[in-house]
Amino acid sequence: MPFLAGQLARPWISGFLFRHEKRLHQYDQLVIVVIIYGAFSQSVVDGLLSRLPRAALGTAALLCLLLLCAVIAFTMFASRRLGFSRGDEIAAVFCGSKKSLASGLPLAQVLFAGASGFGMIVLPIMLYNQIQILVGAVLAKRYARTVDKDNGRFGAGSAVARPLKR
């Protein structure tokens, strides 16, 4: 319903949105920071980090890393097997593994409203988000090395069409 309402309102609001694109982007980023800060702060206030054994935190982080690696490996394998171009492979890898903390936390707050140990519930989301940012940076750097340095674009004949150097 909100998507449909936005599409119907587009002719009337698109001018305003384009004129204030930079400020709206900053506002969007600020809202995400506030959501994440609120969830993390609530976890600290609830004493999550002091109650949670270090081994459990490490295990959760390891499981999140393994899940992310499995999803990335699957999207790489599937996109190559299906004959995607390098650009499409990159899009599949980055989009297929993304789970947003900004959308996951509000959903968790609605689904688990009033639940004790809310911080424990959202801890995997917070860990996964941080791990995906770090792994994404490494992948982006690796994919960037495959871009044709002469023309800086993807396409037939560019370095992107060749396999990644291992």
d(CA 10, CA 6): 6
Go through 109-143 and write b for each residue having 16 or more CB atoms within 10 A of its CB, e for each that does not. beeeeeeeebbbebbbbbbbbebbeeebeebeeeb
d(CA 20, CA 15): 9
Model confidence, pTM? 0.63
Domain boundaries, the chain: 2-161
pLDDT per residue, tens digit, the chain (166 aa), is 888 988 999 999 989 989 999 999 899 888 878 877 877 777 777 777 778 888 988 998 999 999 999 999 999 999 999 999 888 999 899 888 777 776 777 777 777 777 666 777 778 888 888 888 889 889 988 888 876 553 455 544 444 444 444 4
**Which residues have C-beta within 8 Å of that of residue 52, sequence separation ≥ 6?**
120, 123
pLDDT number for residue 8: 92
